[in-house]
Structure 1
Amino acid sequence: MIRINGQLIQGNQLDALSVSNKQRPILKSMAGNQTVYDFYTQDELLFELTVRANTTQASYDLLQSGVGFADFDHSTCNQAIWTLTREGGFLLKSSVTPQRGIDDIFRNGNLYSFECAVAIIIIFYKATLDSIGAASFNQLFRGLYLFSWRYDEDLHLISHSGSEFLPGDCVYFNNPEFNPETPEWRGENTIVMEYDLYFGHGIGIAPGADIIKSLNEQRRPGARLSAYLENRITHPEYRYLRN
């Protein structure tokens, strides 16, 4: 359900909203869920739809970019743009703008390899860049450092429990009995693309059952517990980004 300034929006009001073809399914999912999505203004709703649509597009673009999957010990980057740290993180060079640093990952993907948490942060940065523009992005995200779930505080990610996922949400497939020899498969951070279709770095775009099957193939010998999708949702705080 969608509520703007305390009023439920439905029917003809939803149809009258000027949204793109990529945003329309997200809007319909919001309207059809039992979760109440509260907005102060229509523009605030439209901004969230924009960022969510850009998040799914960034996920697809990262898949097509040629980036590789690697644990932190084997991460790689374009060292003309980033400094590769001892822990396997990427520190943006002071002479490079944040916009150029993020865009280079998508343009020169063959020079990069990293694990799934880094991929999610990169996707959120790219979606934010494409939503607010280079000038604002460069002002907000100076000194970018990419490593696991570390991110600039201005990205302002929030997490909460829930099972009504929307495109653009990050959700986690947990693998409780992963093989300790391959700890990178302890779980998979994914972006919801549409209903029961997820992007996971190293797996691709697949239904939830296929992601669970892939993770189950990476369990320790004798494991009995299946991988599963957690009821936890992570995404930027859209109102904060817009303001």
Structure 2
Amino acid sequence: MNTPKIFFGSNLKFLRERKKMSQEELSFALEIKRSKLSAIENGQTKSPPFEDVINLSEYFKISIDSLLRIDLSRLGELKLRELEAGNDVYMMGGNLRVLAITVDKDNKENAEYVPIKAKAGYRAGLNDPEYVGTLPKFTLPNLPIGWTYRMFPTTGDSMLPIPEGSDVICRYIQDWGSIKPQTVCIVILKAEQDFVFKQVTLQNNGLLLESLNTQYQPYIVSVSDVLELWEFQRFVSETIPDISPDLQTIAKALREIQGDVTFIKEKSN
């Protein structure tokens, strides 16, 4: 059995520096010796006393499991704030989905693009920061701040008038219970080789998935079969959408035709 990697020392240093505290200031706040704090950060203390671990967990408002098992430096500021707010995968009994992300040199979250060739491996690597780090990055102006974004390629015509083959930019949905009926999403399913691009409605027996194209029948999937939900924000396409005329446009065209017919009749008499 492989020995699990422990991030406690490096996480402690990361959190301290994130708060712009010196070792002396943190040791004073925790009422421990500075030499002990330095030894923990440098990995010289392999088994720190339980009371120190608990005190550090309470001080930084991050669970012991997260302090030990997650490399917090790989998370963005938004995810760290979520952990500090109590939205912690281990504190919540494993019900919360923790998204693997990457950050730039300023510790700001990147927005990743999942190309066609990466789709097959995405479901296996979505929780792996190293895999996510291999995905291409993109930037787009005017995206609302405070969200995690990803771009996905689409296939098929189930979401017409959004053109087939469009790339859709989506934001990550952490709380599935917050989505409104018929929220347009990229849905990452366990049993699918491809992503599905659907309108999503939360129901008692699962998630109802509907296409914008009414030729496709809606269907329900179990919540346990869904890995991620990404809410649609905008799309990029080389094709201009083929928009069907609305009733007002049709009525206007009929009136124009009727007028032309009347004019012709009057002229012929």
TM-score category of the 2 structures, normalised to the smaller one? under 0.3
Larger radius of gyration: 2
TM-score (normalizing by structure 2) = 0.25
Which gives a bigger RCO, structure 1 or 2 (Cα 8 Å, sep 6+)?
1
TM-score (normalizing by structure 1) = 0.26
